[in-house]
Structure 1
Amino acid sequence: MEAPWTHTTVLLNEAVDALFSNDGQAYAGAADGTYVDATFGRGGHSRRILEQLSPTGRLVAFDRDPDAVAQSASITDPRFSIRHEGFSHLGELPAASLAGVLMDLGVSSPQIDNPQRGFSFRFEGPLDMRMDTTRGESVAQWLATAEINQIAEVIREYGEERFAGPIAKAIAARRQERGPISTTSELAQLVADTVKTREQGQNPATRTFQALRIFINAELEELQQALDASLDVLEVGGRLAVISFHSLEDRIVKQFIAKHSKEEYDRRAPFAVPKVMKLKALDRIKPSAAEVAGNPRSRSAILRVAQRMAA
């Protein structure tokens, strides 16, 4: 049954074109390769990739959200398969077997807009925020027992929230006085009562919700593991395309590409031939004004593209 929450795929054509073409021209053999959609979501990128594949091409998708995996059943193409697990498992695929890897990071619109998932401060719902609702503890469960300094560190590190300390103390005080926080509205109101100043147009709870979601799902750790694995599973010439939505993600992607786009010199052997760079940075793309106007959630998106060089 189709869920009532819809999703508009961000940078759809730009991301898929980056996997298959050079300056708008398809490169030889691209359509015959095996590709990974590391975050299936509702399948927008996957369907577009399948349109580009030849009969011998293949697409492997990953997603840890059981709702997303259920939605994937609508794709009956025999060239497609999906794995119910996070894309940190990318390294389990055969070495040098992929022509391209696409990662669309963050949370999808169906997850945000479904109150039962607990991702949004705009809707009343259980304070869950797990990408995979079949395992792990929810945000509410973690906040019920976490120490003040742990809560403050998470909100500060993953939300870049300067009021992390006062928010953590307020959560602990509320827990002692009336019991643990269990709903999104309770947490949003507590943060609003604690944070007295905020950027114009931004809800006071924005940074706290982001931080707790990233932490409970270990999103940045999973991203780093997947990026590292991409060097092993991409074939020479294969493409890496990553769409990020906030500075913490983009910084990791940017630094990863930069690190591996440099020749490595052995200081102990200054006259030795340097090791060739593993990646070549190809592009940095942001949504067009038209896309942002039609889908405001795309406004912070950044697509970075790189190519696997000689091993």
Structure 2
Amino acid sequence: MTQMTTSARHTPVLAQRCLDLLAPAVQADGAVLIDATLGLGGHAEAALQRFGGLHLVGIDRDPQALALATERLAPFGDRFTPVHARYDAIGAVAAEHGVAGRVQGILFDLGVSSLQLDEVDRGFSYAQDAPLDMRMDPTTGSTAADLLAKADERELRRILSTYGEERFAGRIAAAVVRRRASAPLRRTGELVELVRESIPHAARRTGGNPAKRTFQALRIAVNAELEALERALPAAIAALEVSGRIVVESYQSLEDRMVKRALVAGATSSAPEGLVLPLPEHEPYLQLLTRGAEEADDAERAANPRAASVRLRAAVRIREGGPS
């Protein structure tokens, strides 16, 4: 894949809004921005173009995405540093590449990347038949097929209900267990058909492909996405220098709730109720930069379908302290 086709296939969501929010922290020469979810490098390219003195560190667990983004960003020379890691390693990355272990900006663009959806053999899409893989780093870990073959019915029901918010999790989990008694599920097409047959006819008529929640749930479970995010958010906030900024784009409610909880906690006094003179360590260490979660406008949604479900939140660090 060439640099041109990499750029053409990836339109970053709310790129200019993200950069506007980050700008006060990263526009000075020597500033360091960590793109914790580099993907195909769309946000990174826009940031390096806009901020001429910026050094950008791009993290991605997917070695194919990392290679393509590195090719795309080669014109920026040593202003870009790629790191093959999961984003919960952000504390160590900041310690190595930041200024005195701190950075001025952090960006998360969560969820599945354009590359992972477009590469049929990765098994992320319910729209095309492929092996049931779904690993963001295909060099390590168990696949979705492994999970479906080994997890008991109760665990499958929990995964589908919790991570996919699937109303018919019980029916689908039971169907998986029945099916694997005779033949394991190995293909995405097989799973799509099983889900379709497991839910009532009326539920198939609305809400798009009935397998989308199951695929979301399995992808989250296979890649331990929420566990990684729960570790990454406090580590990211701790890595920010005072006046540093964090911007997070989420695409489903579970992620967005975690981001909201972390940012709102930092922007709220931790003083016990009734304390007359709160101590400095109880004061907020973040200030929110968005009112609630921002969404894409109609023009952005029309230009970039992936923007339809985005929820953007941002904050600035206003004092030392907080998570460590």
TM-score for the superposition, normalised by structure 1: 0.92
Identity %: 41
Partner of 2:194: 190
Partner of 2:251: 245
Letter in 2 for 1:211: A
Q: CA–CA distance in 2 between the matches of 1:269 and 1:299? A: 44
Unaligned runs of 5+ in 1: 22-26
Q: CA–CA distance in 2 between the matches of 1:2 and 1:83? A: 21
1:297 Cα deviation (Å)?
2.0
Partner of 2:283: 276
Partner of 2:312: 303
Partner of 2:231: 225
Deviations 1:70-113 (A, max 9, x none): 10231222111011111100011227511100000001122112
Matched, 1:124 2:124: no
1:137-176 → structure 2 map (5 Å cutoff): 137-176=142-181
Letter in 2 for 1:167: I
1:245 Cα deviation (Å)?
0.5
CA contact (8 A) 1:31 1:52 kept: no
Matched, 1:70 2:76: no
1:203 Cα deviation (Å)?
1.0
Match of 2:43 among 36, 42, 45: 45
Matched, 1:208 2:214: yes
1:32 Cα deviation (Å)?
3.1
1:227 Cα deviation (Å)?
0.6
CA contact (8 A) 1:262 1:276 kept: yes
Name whichever of 91-100 and 267-276 sits farther off: 267-276
Name whichever of 28-37 and 158-167 sits farther off: 28-37
Change (3 A) 1:110 1:157: same
Name whichever of 295-304 and 204-213 sits farther off: 295-304
CA contact (8 A) 1:20 1:31 kept: no
CA contact (8 A) 2:26 2:104 kept: no
Please give the secondary structure, in 1, of the residue aligned with 2:150: coil
Partner of 2:114: 109
Question: Segments of 4+ in structure 1 off by > 6 A?
Answer: none
Letter in 2 for 1:235: E
Matched, 1:13 2:16: yes
CA contact (8 A) 2:35 2:57 kept: yes
CA RMSD of aligned residues (A): 1.9
1:198 Cα deviation (Å)?
4.4
Q: CA–CA distance in 2 between the matches of 1:28 and 1:141? A: 43
Partner of 2:58: 61
Unaligned runs of 5+ in 2: none
Partner of 1:24: none
Please give the secondary structure, in 1, of the residue aligned with 2:21: helix
Letter in 2 for 1:46: A
Partner of 2:79: 79
Match of 1:180 among 181, 184, 189: 184
Name whichever of 284-293 and 155-164 sits farther off: 284-293
CA contact (8 A) 1:144 1:181 kept: yes
Matched, 1:261 2:267: yes
Q: CA–CA distance in 2 between the matches of 1:272 and 1:204? A: 51
Q: CA–CA distance in 1 between the matches of 2:234 and 2:60? A: 18
CA contact (8 A) 2:196 2:204 kept: no
Please give the secondary structure, in 2, of the residue aligned with 1:239: strand
Change (3 A) 1:181 1:29: closer
Q: CA–CA distance in 2 between the matches of 1:109 and 1:28? A: 26
* More helix as a share of residues: 2
CA contact (8 A) 1:96 1:232 kept: no
CA contact (8 A) 1:100 1:240 kept: yes
Q: CA–CA distance in 1 between the matches of 2:115 and 2:267? A: 36
Deviations 1:111-137 (A, max 9, x none): 112110000110010000000000001
1:52 Cα deviation (Å)?
2.9
1:7 Cα deviation (Å)?
1.8
